[in-house]
Amino acid sequence: MKTVRIRPGKERSLLRRHPWIFEGSVAGGKADPGETVRVDAADGRFLAWAAYSPLSSIRLRAWSFDESERIDAAFFARRIGAAVDMRTRLAVASDAVRLVHGEADGLPGLVVDRYGDTLVAQFLAAGVERWKSVIADALLLKTGAARLFERSDTSAREREGLAAASGWLRAGAGDAAAATELEIREHDWRFSVDVETGHKTGFYLDQRDNRKLFADAVRHFAVERVLNCYCYTGGFSVAALAGGARRVLAIDSSAPALARAAANVARNGFDAGRHEALDADVNERLRALLDAGQRFDAIVLDPPKLAPTAAHAERAARAYKDINRLALMLLAPGGLLFTFSCSGGIDAGLFHKIVAGAGIDANVDGFVHARLGAAPDHPMTINFPEGEYLKGLVVLKR
């Protein structure tokens, strides 16, 4: 087994069982991409077994902090089994669920979502890429799913020196051309999902509980006019209509996503006349709506990731502040703002400050009605706070 040694003083994060070791913390040693190495402190003490990634700034991702543990096929079967078993303990109101959430499940770089009988996996780091075949077999064996589609086509792969990969990894007999267009159930709603071309693995499962909360809030506050920004395939639109909203304006810059949003509205039996899907830049449209004197009783802001790392935080903060300022001005008195950030480089405290700054610039105050995060099948562990990527605020305008 190859050994990588850590610089003096840089072992503290590993002693706290944080799974990342950055390039600057490595004193010596190297390995092939994804190869498992022994990680030692400067004085020779064992720290972890980790996957080596020679091109990534995260040079090592820890598999285990137990010196006696072997990193083999049985290890991955155990970790996958534990992750799947944990999800069975959760009250997930859907047949679509996240089964593996990377570092939180002790499998850095691996994301696996289940859509009915189909699994969709992302192999985002060199370590899980090296064990891909073993992991695929273990997933199908543990879940009993019929097929597994790969969506390893994100920028995270580039940072690992890995080429994008997408397509069927495992399929049943005569199933090589299985449909990638699926239907899922969430709460009392149904959504169409394309696991081949949709965002992430096809759908934003992390917003599942927040969509239900939005439907309940629309109902409770008797909301009539809703503005759904960055609407993607209409999850919050369906929630708004289910809550009794009279009119929903949904904005996105993707025509295919808007078409699917309209289809999802119809799929759930709502009158198409209550839902308008607009292909436009959100920032520009917010300004135009404000100039036109429009007002809304509830607004959803769920923008794409603007700050993947802390290095992007300052620029992203300006963008978040601007759209929140415009949204707060567009809200009618007593209106609700559901605002989110999925940027890992923006923590919950900073996001609150950004929204507060937007309120000051808009000359608007509001009550923080709720703080939101990802659904529980997207867990954060106490040793890996970076896992808290999705954060949200519900603001009740005064």
Residue 308 above 80 pLDDT? no
| pLDDT over threshold 90, residue 387 | no
Q: What is the predicted pLDDT for the residue at 315?
A: 81
With cut-offs at 50, 70 and 90, classify the pLDDT of residue 176.
low
Which CATH number describes the domain made up of 73-183?
Answer: 3.30.750.80
What is d(CA 18, CA 47) in angstroms, rounded to the nearest whole number?
11
Give backbone dihedrals phi and psi of 359, rounded to 5 degrees, phi first.
Answer: -65, -40
Predicted confidence at residue 306, as pLDDT, reads 78
Asked whether this chain's domains 3-64 and 204-397 adopt the same fold, the reply is no
**What distance in Å separates the CA atoms of residue 164 and residue 155, rounded to the nearest whole number?**
8
Spell out the residues 6+ positions from residue 155 whose beta carbon is closer than 8 angstroms to its own: 308
Question: Residue ranges of the domains in the chain?
Answer: 3-64, 73-183, 204-397
Interval 68-85: pLDDT, tens: 999 999 999 999 999 999
Q: HSE (CB half, 13 Å, CA atoms) of 85?
A: 6
- DSSP3 helix / strand / coil % (the chain, rounded to 5): 35, 30, 35
* Stretch among 133-142, 154-163, 290-299 having the lowest mean pLDDT: 154-163
- Confidence grade of residue 55 (pLDDT, cut at 50, 70, 90): very high
User: Token pair of 144, please?
Assistant: 């009993």
pLDDT score recorded for residue 174 = 58
Q: Are 240 and 226 in contact (CB under 8 A)?
A: yes
Q: Model pTM?
A: 0.94
Average pLDDT for 28-41: 97
342 is catalytic: yes
Taking 60 as the threshold, does the pLDDT of residue 320 lie above it? Answer: yes
* Both structure tokens of 81: 């089994």
Where residue 172 falls among pLDDT bands split at 50, 70, 90? low
The share of the chain scoring above pLDDT 70, in percent, equals: 97
Fold of 3-64: 2.30.130
Residue for token pair 């934003």: 204
pLDDT for 72 equals 98
Give the DSSP per-residue string, 74-102.
HHHHHHHHHHHHHHHTS---BSEEEEEEG
Give mean pLDDT, residues 249-264: 96
CB-CB neighbours of 286 under 10 Å: 24
Tens digits of residue pLDDT in 135-160: 999 999 999 998 999 999 998 999 99
User: What does the pLDDT read at residue 344?
Assistant: 82
- Using DSSP, state whether 269 is helix, strand or coil: coil
Annotated catalytic residue within 342, 358, 362, 372:
342
More confident residue, 86 or 387: 86
CATH no. for 204-397: 3.40.50.150
The Cα 113–Cα 205 span in angstroms is 9
Chain-wide mean pLDDT for the chain? 95
